[in-house]
Amino acid sequence: MIDERIKRILLAIIKHCDIIEDTKKYFGNDYGKFEDNSIYQNAILTPVTQIGELVKKLPDDFRLKYSEIPWRNIAGMRDIVVHNYETIDKLILWNVADKETIKIREFCKRIIN
């Protein structure tokens, strides 16, 4: 059983993963469209940043217990987005949005249930 604070964080992570999925549906789930569209890229960057920020709020013992999720990498992606925006590798960002957030979302749902 998880406490309410962790549950709220996980629910917020799910919300931002859903925003990423909705954005991909809106613009088209295609790297070529993503690569050529700065509006699309920015629409993905915001929820990726929010997920990274939320991950940092999870207690260390929770992150250690569920080490199958790359918590440090998620938080690190947030830091890159915020501090080094111009150096973001679009393909890496796309892979995060296209594959990794799905895994994170499913993990969060499983833990909440």
Q: What residues are labeled active site? A: 78, 83
Burial class (CB in 10 A: 0-12, 13-18, 19+), 56: middle
Classified as helix, coil or strand, 67 is coil
Report yes or no: 18 and 105 within 8 Å, Cβ to Cβ. yes
Q: Which two tokens stand for residue 103?
A: 């895994």
Report yes or no: 112 and 6 within 8 Å, Cβ to Cβ. no
